[in-house]
Structures are given as structure tokens and as C-alpha cells.
Amino acid sequence: MKKQQPTILVVNDDGITAPGIKALIEAMQQLGRVVVVAPDSPQSGMGHAITIGKPLRLDAVDLYKDVEMYKCSGTPVDCVKLAVNRVFKGQKPDLCVSGINHGLNNSINVLYSGTMSAAVEGAIESIPSIGFSLDDYTQQADFAPCIPYVKKIATQVLNQGLPAGTLLNVNFPKGDALKGIKICRQAQGKWAEEFDERLDPYQRPYYWLTGLFQLNDQGEDTDVWALDNNYVSVVPVQFDMTAHHAIAALNNWKF
């Protein structure tokens, strides 16, 4: 008896026409039946935002051959929620993959990332989930060196599964000199934000977010180190944000 193909949900935050999602779709077509639900416009930096104050629209589109595709007016997390509830009608896919994002989602960036939040939502729904990101923000980004690793990692997750409440955050350095895969921890770092004040045509001020990434971690087991040394970084991520190590100390407080 022929084994049934796995069903793979593909999402992103750069929008349904982004080159990164096209690369991911083509890679996943080699592993199973692909269904795409993606934002109709870029949603970078949306984190785990959901739409609650206005209606959501979900429209079928025909962009790639033999791919069931829908564009969504909401956030990346909205896309996953609608996929599970309306497209799959409760019959969950075997895998959820998000990306390939134009730009890294390593270190603290995982908290802000729409790409990763879509994957987190998949994991919340008990779907094995992976977020993929490349260190290249341009529309001309070359995803070809990533594809063998994307397929290898996705195949392992399909075959092995993931621990409950866990997903993978995968980041690729730019270029084709990839040395292999490193299982890492998230580097400790943060953004030192600045707001560039400018004037609109009516001379009213507005602000443009800028800033520099500050790395506070020199460990050689981090995603930042791996990427700086041309490795693909794979960080297991959990959505349980409980600081378990702090519970004992808090139990000694006098409330």
C-alpha cells in the first residue's frame, strides 16, 4: 500500500508574492502536498499579533502550479488560525513551515518576528513547526544554498517529530559557503533603538525606527556565533514562557 503524502502548510510574513515563500513552496513540493496561507501584504515585525477589531478576508489565489493557495488580509498568526479552522477544517497538516524570511530571526529577534510567530502558532496547535530565515533583506536574495538544508531539516521533523511544545528556529547565513548545521541556543542580545525624527510635507514630525544590535554573549554555542561562522543555526524554541528557575525564589517571598 502506497504511503500517503504528508500535507504541509506554508506561511510567511513577507507576503504571498515574496521570493522567499516561492523558494519554500518549491522545496516543500518535493516532500508532500503543499497548502499555502499567507498575508496579502508584508507583515514583518508583527510578532504574535492577531486581528480582533476588523473582519478577516481569505481568498483563493492561483500563483503556482499544483499548489492550493490563499491570501489572507491579516497577520501571519491569523493565517495559521484560518488555515487550521477554515482551510483544513480541523484536520491538521503534518507540518507547518514559515518563511523563508528575508532577514535573520536569530537571538532576541525571535520575539518580534512574524515568521517565527506563525511557526509558534503552528506548534500551539500541536503541528510540528519550523521557521526559516536568511540573512538577506533584498528582493534579489539567493535562497538556492538554503534549499538542501530546508529539505533535510523538514524531512527530519516529518520523520522524527518534535517534543511537545517545541518548534525549530532555523537561520541561514548569506552566501553559498555553508559549513553545515549547528544546534544552538539563542544568543543573549538586544536592540539599542533610536528614533530618527523627520518632517512630513506639512512640517509635522514623524519618527523612523532605527538602532544597533547589541550582543551580550560571547558563547560559541549560540545562533549568532554559528551564523558568523557560516553554519546554519537551529534553535529549539518553546512557547511556554514560564521562568521555571525563578519559581523557588519567588516562593520564599513574604506576600
Q: Delimit the domains of the chain by residue range.
A: 7-186+220-240
DSSP label at residue 4: P
Residue pLDDT tens, the chain, 255 long:
456 899 999 999 999 999 999 999 999 999 999 999 999 998 888 889 999 999 999 999 999 888 999 999 999 999 999 999 999 997 899 999 999 999 999 999 999 999 999 999 999 999 999 999 999 999 899 999 999 999 999 999 999 999 999 999 999 999 999 999 999 999 988 888 889 999 999 999 999 988 888 888 888 999 999 999 999 999 999 999 999 999 999 999 998
13 φ, ψ (degrees, to nearest 5): -125, -5
Element (H, E) at 235: strand 232-238
- Domain 7-186+220-240: give its CATH architecture: 3-Layer(aba) Sandwich (3.40)
Name the strands in the sheet holding 181-183, side by side, starting at the edge strand that comes first in the sequence: 58-61, 68-72, 33-39, 7-11, 95-102, 129-134, 166-172, 232-238, 181-183
Please tell me the distance from the alpha carbon of residue 131 to that of residue 97, in angstroms, as a whole number. 6
Please tell me the distance from the alpha carbon of residue 217 to that of residue 233, in angstroms, as a whole number. 16
Confirm if 98 and 122 have CB atoms less than 8 A apart. Answer: yes
pTM: 0.93
222-236 residues labelled b (16+ CB within 10 A) or e (exposed): bbbbbbeeebbbbbe
Q: Give residue 171's identity as a one-letter amino acid code.
A: N
